[in-house]
Structure formats: structure tokens, C-alpha cells
Amino acid sequence: MTVVLASIWGVWAPYLPSFLRGLVITMEITGLGLAVAIVLGAILAGFKLSRFRTLRLIATVYVDIVRSIPVLVLLFLAYYGLGQLGFTLSGIASATTALGAYYAALLCEIFRGGVQGVEKGQKEAADALGLGRVSGFARVILPQAVLRVLPPSTNQLSNIIKDSSLVVTIGVADLMARSYQASASTFRPMDMFVLAGIIYMALYLVIARAIERWELNVQRRRG
């Protein structure tokens, strides 16, 4: 067993620097895509909760359309489609646009559910304290909604990390692209893709644990 592990490590070691450079690109794409998804998803959730029918309709149409399109198709539309229209985006910008647009549709529903899941009595309590609509939402409703949306949002984080690997199809040198290159150089695809899988898993676990600890700290402070 030791001999086998030593042999595998001997194959991995020369390519670790390349894999780590790819990991940085993967983290950049994931972080930027998630940031866009959170901001756009929050705006769409606000539209869905709006009293204005037009805003609700805009959000509903967006969510229904975008959720029905595979991420890979959105990625190609951002990279090749926008380029055809004269809006040339880099690979990373295209990935950020596609992932952000897709996951905004998913997070919109999570955020909307989180706000609507707050007990009606909490809203009435905010009114009783004389808090305005905006102040009551920010100080009473939003903190409780955030705790409700964290678990499902963490699941979407896992998905966005995995979907970031699709950028290999548009030539971005992310972690997946590095594993393809190493596989072609060594003729040992199993070893290289196992290493890529381990790194993806480690990335998700580190981020997920950090979110869990932050959630626990928030809950403790709230009593």
C-alpha cells in the first residue's frame, strides 16, 4: 500500500504547482460568480416580493427562463453569443456572467422563501415598535431570513464550484483544464482526475465549514 501511495504521489508532485494555479482561477470564477448571483438574486427576490405586478412578472419570467437553460448553454451564449453581437468578454468574465445569471435564479427563490418564512408575528412586532418598513425589514426580518437561507445557499455553493469546471470548454486554464493537460502529459488520467476531485472536495469542505462556524456564531450572539 505504501509503495502504491508513493507511486501516485510521485506522479502528482510535479503537477501540484500547476494544479494550484488552476485552483486560484477556479476560486476567482466561483467567488465572482457567487457575488453576482447573490446581488442579482437579492434584487430578483425583492421584485418577487414587490407589491407591483410588473416587477413580480419580470422576476418570474427571468427565473423560469434561466432555470430551464443548462449552465453550459449560458456559458456559450456569454462567450460566443455576446462576442457575435460585438460584446467580447474574456473567459473569466463569461464564466462570471453565466454562473451569476444562472445561480441568481436559484438564489432568488431561496431568498424569497427565507423572507416569507419569517413568522408574521415578527413583522407585527416591528410595526409595534414603530419601525418603518425599511428599518423593520433590515433590523428584524432580514437577520432571521439570513439564518434560514444559509443551509440551502451552501448547497448552491457546492453546485457553483462544480459547475465552474465547465469553463474548460471555453479555454480557461482552471483546475479542470490543468488536470486535462496533466493527463495528456502523463497518460495517467485516473491519477490526475482523482487529484482534481480531491482538490475540489477540499475547497468545498473548507468553505462550507467556514460558513457553518459563522452561522453558529451568529446564532450564539442572537441567544
CATH number at residue 76: 1.10.3720.10
| pLDDT recorded at residue 4 | 64
Average pLDDT, the chain: 89
Mean pLDDT along residues 29-49: 96
Is residue 40 very low, low, confident or very high in pLDDT (cuts 50, 70, 90)? Answer: very high
CA distances from 162 to 3, 99, 142, 150, 199 (A): 32, 11, 29, 19, 11
The DSSP code sequence of 47-82 is: HHT-S-HHHHHHHHHHHHHHHTS-HHHHHHIIIIIH
The boundaries of the domain holding residue 19 are 2-221
Rounded CA separation 51/40 (Å): 19
Is residue 118 very low, low, confident or very high in pLDDT (cuts 50, 70, 90)? Answer: confident
63-102 residue pLDDT tens: 999 999 999 999 999 999 998 998 899 999 999 999 999 9
Sequence letter at residue 88: T
State how many domains the chain has: 1
Which three cell numbers, joined as nine digits, stand for 99?
A: 454562473
Please compute, for residue 56, the number of CA atoms within 13 A of its CA located in the half-sphere on the CB side: 7
- Chain CA centroid to CA 133, Å: 30
- Chain CA centroid to CA 22, Å: 18
The pTM for the full model equals 0.89
Contact indicator for 129, 121 with CB cutoff of 8 Å: no
170-214 residue pLDDT tens: 999 999 999 999 999 988 899 999 999 999 999 999 998 988 888
Is residue 115 very low, low, confident or very high in pLDDT (cuts 50, 70, 90)? Answer: confident
Helix pair angle (2-12, 189-221), 10° resolution: 90
- Chain CA centroid to CA 114, Å: 18
Sequence letter at residue 66: V
Q: Count Cβ atoms below 10 Å from residue 1 Cβ, excluding itself.
A: 5
Is residue 128 very low, low, confident or very high in pLDDT (cuts 50, 70, 90)? Answer: low
| pLDDT recorded at residue 106 | 97
Contact indicator for 120, 53 with CB cutoff of 8 Å: no
Angle at 126 between CA 120 and CA 131, to 5 degrees: 145
Please state, for a pLDDT cut of 90, what percent of the chain lies above it: 62
Residue from 101, 106, 60, 103 nearest 79 by CA: 101
| pLDDT recorded at residue 190 | 92
Residue 119 clears pLDDT 90, i.e. is over it: no
Q: Which of 15-19, 113-117, 140-144, 145-149 has the lowest mean pLDDT?
A: 140-144
Q: Which of 6-15, 39-48, 52-61, 176-185 has the lowest mean pLDDT?
A: 6-15
| pLDDT recorded at residue 151 | 84
Please state, for a pLDDT cut of 70, what percent of the chain lies above it: 89
116: Cβ contacts below 8 Å, ≥ 6 apart = 49
